[in-house]
Amino acid sequence: MKLSASVCIFSLMATHSASGFMLSSQQSTKKIPLVLSAAPLENDNGVVVADTRRNFMTKTMATAMATAATAASGVLAAPSPAHAVKGTDKVNAMLKAYGLPTIPSVSNGMVPLLEVWGKGKNRFPLLVLMNHPITWVVTLPSNDVNGEDGTIQAGEYAKGDTATLFVYQDEGHVDNIATADKSLFERALIKAISQKGSNIYQNFKVTKVVPQDGPEYGGKQYVVCDFKYELLTGAGFEVDRRGVAAITSEGPAVEVLWAASTRERFKKTEGTLRDITSSFRVWADGLNFSEELAKTEERFG
């Protein structure tokens, strides 16, 4: 049963109200519970005041609708606060510290983000640069005593618009990735979209592959791929998704930044998603990550 995103959200809201949303993953279901409480209100001086019934219902419904949109659009990760290096001046200062070229400017309404993926002892470090809309929420990998988990992602989650880093390690480093067979990009992207389970999508297809060779890439090889697929939800809906990805290979892996929206929204967001992926840069070999790794080691040992 294929429905539009808005119909999916409305239908999922009804399902959620009764028993929580069900998304299939590895032949099992994951229930996203309805939030039944609302945060207390504060006045202009930061003093907590009593919540009214209207405020409670308004915030609870907003939370449920955001969760519904998230489920319908296939974004399974919840946003959390992030502290990446953001803003052109700060990003350029960090790039200079690493001995890398600075970025000249960013598109209107966008902001650059620079972050090290792989600070944990279970990963290898990569310096990742990407632009994203200034209104999007950013999530970053988390670190604890067991190592690092998660990835770098930005999105307008309630609408299903996301840009996500995926590090594909199954085939190691790939020399001359610009001339690699299309099947490599298909494998990497399928792995990227199916992190929550291999049975949550169907009809995946890479529709275009374009190697990038402009001077702005500094001699590095990148490939831009257009793709589409259908997200399958546990409620029986099929949500058409469209996306674009930038792919490179630095260090012992292939790195993918894939950005996607629902098919209906892609008509509006395509330019933004292409701006995001065209800004994607990754560095690995030759950089000194000792300071960043030392901070994580000091915190978690």
Q: What is the pLDDT of residues 52-68, one digit of tens each?
A: 444 444 444 444 444 44
DSSP state of 157: G
- pLDDT value for 1: 58
Q: With cut-offs at 50, 70 and 90, classify the pLDDT of residue 119.
A: very high
Q: What is the b/e burial string over 26-44, where b = at least 16 CB atoms within 10 angstroms of the residue's CB?
A: eeeebebebeeebeeeeee
* Adjacent-strand bridge partners of 246: 224, 257
Q: Domains of the chain, with CATH numbers?
A: 5-73 (no CATH), 85-298 (3.40.1000.10)
Q: Look at residue 45 and tell me whether its pLDDT is greater than 60.
A: no
Residues 6+ apart with CB under 8 A from 109: 133, 134
On average, the pLDDT of the chain sits at 80
Helices (H), the chain: 5-19, 53-73, 88-97, 182-193, 263-278, 290-300
What is the per-residue pLDDT for 83? 64
How many CB atoms neighbour CB 143 within 10 A?
Answer: 20
3 confidence band (pLDDT: 50, 70, 90): low
**Token pair of 66 as six digits:** 């955001």
Span 223-249, average pLDDT: 94
Question: Which is more confidently placed, 81 or 228?
Answer: 228
Q: What is the pLDDT of residue 90?
A: 95
Distance CA(51)–CA(49), nearest Å, equals 6
> Which of 15-19, 103-107, 171-175, 278-282 has the lowest average pLDDT?
15-19
pTM attached to this predicted model: 0.75
CB 221 within 8 A of CB 152: no
Whether 199 has a pLDDT exceeding 90, the answer reads no
Span 177-193, mean pLDDT?
97
* Residue 244, pLDDT above cutoff 50: yes
Q: pLDDT at position 168, please?
A: 98
pLDDT of 89 higher than 70: yes
pLDDT band at 74; cut points 50, 70, 90: very low
Report yes or no: 124 and 251 within 8 Å, Cβ to Cβ. Answer: yes
Residue 247 CA, distance from chain mean position: 14
Question: Could you identify the residue written with the tokens 């009593």?
Answer: 50
3-state secondary structure of 230: strand
Tell me what pLDDT residue 2 has.
59
pLDDT band at 167 (very low <50, low <70, confident <90, very high): very high
pLDDT at 144 (0 to 100): 94
d(CA 224, CA 190): 15
Q: Which range has the worst mean pLDDT, 119-128, 174-183, 214-223?
A: 214-223
